[in-house]
Structure 1
Amino acid sequence: MSNLLLLSGPAVEPLTLDEVKLHLRVDGCEEDGLLSACITAARRSAEAYLRRALIAQRWQYYLDDWPGVVLRIPCPPLRTVDMIRIYDGDGAVLTMDPDRYEVDCRSEPGRIAARGGIWPAPGRRMGGIEITFEAGYGTSWNAVPQDIRAGLLMAVAAMYEQRGATDGGLPPSIAALWSPYRMLSF
């Protein structure tokens, strides 16, 4: 079993308020709160649909046991693996030396592999492995692929214009833009 916990969300959104207002032709600041909420909701919706992080964010990934020599990390794209901790049966923690594992940030999803092919066995039966990592395209909105950002603009526009009167499905035009980036499995 595995469990994923968000430690810190993105510092910025993948769309700026100014570009959304320009796209929607909204003047003034009366709607800024609503538009900001729509931007955040659109990002969260995109991340859930795509099964990936858009802007840099820190996560903890808990595992009961190693699935094999190579472990695929959820929420691509993987930027860094900050720490791997192994808990023994008494709750004592071993922080693994980064020289004992390799990190592949180029693959999607990112991967880590034990050097020598052997991971230390956790002593705790549940959540005995804790991996802290950073995922996302970058720390700025302009690191996010343009197709994803275009779909986000469309999603924000739909939320703003329809004010909740939707069927909840992803419009085909947005799905077409996002499909190449969607992770179907880990």
Structure 2
Amino acid sequence: MGIRLTQAPAEEPVALDDAKLHLRVTDSSEDTLISMLISAARIHAENVCRRVFVTQKWDLFLDAFPFYTYYGVIPGYVPVDQLPSAWMTMRNYAVRFRGSKIDIPFPRLQSVDAVKYIDASGVTQTMDPSAYVVDTISEPGVLTPKTGTYWPDTENTTNAVQISFTAGYGAAVDVPAGIKSWILLRVGALYENREEVSVATRVTVQELPYVDTLLDPYRIMGYA
């Protein structure tokens, strides 16, 4: 399986002016640097939370649609639940199959925009939206075939299924305050420490214990 960003967020959750106010920077000489730091902090937070913030579009690729076995998994595949726990933090493994269900990564899921597949004869087909059900309430969102139906057969090839979807909270104003606060704090740390390591003598470095917990309410910790 693979996943590809097709439309990046139109804005960052934290505006440049807000970051400059947090950093107490009044001129524009470092606007480019600060903007880069905002983007870096946002991407880090998205990876930690296993979600995206401002609206983005993605394509999810699968080699086939899932189908039921007695145990509700795909024959020959190990469910993501059974992969090593360290792998679960990687974005590549943010998708799993539950019977005929497909979990869509990077909540909140706003919409499934298209479901395409290569059929058994090698022709690319686009499914009618009435043939599947989109659950935007669950996190991660879930895509299932219409009740009483099954996913169609696909050609035995890589990336036979392409699911295009839109995800995120919405605009920057819709991103929770806790996430924005974490990004500002991380931007501050990156701005003050511009190297990979800090070299100093007679200095005590102490982490603020509450910082990373700001993201806890927004983390996708696992699947039920």
Match of 2:185 in 1: 154
Q: Conserved in 2, the CA contact under 8 Å of 1:81 and 1:131?
A: yes
Compute the displacement of 1:90 (Å). Answer: 5.4
Compare CA radii of gyration and give the structure with the larger one.
2
**C-alpha distance in structure 2 between counterparts of 1:103 and 1:46, whole Å:** 26
Following TM superposition, the consecutive aligned residue runs of length 4 or more in structure 1 with deviations greater than 4 angstroms are none
Q: 1:46 to 1:171 in 2, by over 3 A?
A: farther
- 2:140 is aligned with 1:109: yes
SS of the equivalent of 2:143 reads strand
Q: Conserved in 2, the CA contact under 8 Å of 1:88 and 1:124?
A: no
Letter in 1 for 2:169: Y
Q: Can you give the 5+ residue segments of structure 2 that lack an aligned partner in the other structure?
A: 67-96, 199-206
SS of the equivalent of 2:211 reads helix
Q: 1:28 to 1:85 in 2, by over 3 A?
A: same
Compute the displacement of 1:128 (Å). Answer: 0.8
Letter in 2 for 1:158: A
Q: 1:159 to 1:81 in 2, by over 3 A?
A: same
**C-alpha distance in structure 1 between counterparts of 2:167 and 2:194, whole Å:** 31
Aligned CA-pair RMSD: 1.8
Compute the displacement of 1:50 (Å). Answer: 0.9
Match of 1:179 in 2: 216
Letter in 2 for 1:106: I
Letter in 2 for 1:176: T
Match of 1:97 among 128, 131, 137: 128
Q: Can you give the 5+ residue segments of structure 1 that lack an aligned partner in the other structure?
A: none
Compute the displacement of 1:33 (Å). Answer: 0.6
**Mapping for residues 1-186 of structure 1, pairs under 5 Å:** 2-65=1-64, 66=66, 67=97, 68-88=99-119, 91-115=122-146, 116-138=148-170, 140-166=171-197, 172-185=209-222
TM-score normalised by L of structure 1? 0.91
SS of the equivalent of 1:80 reads strand
**C-alpha distance in structure 2 between counterparts of 1:172 and 1:5, whole Å:** 35
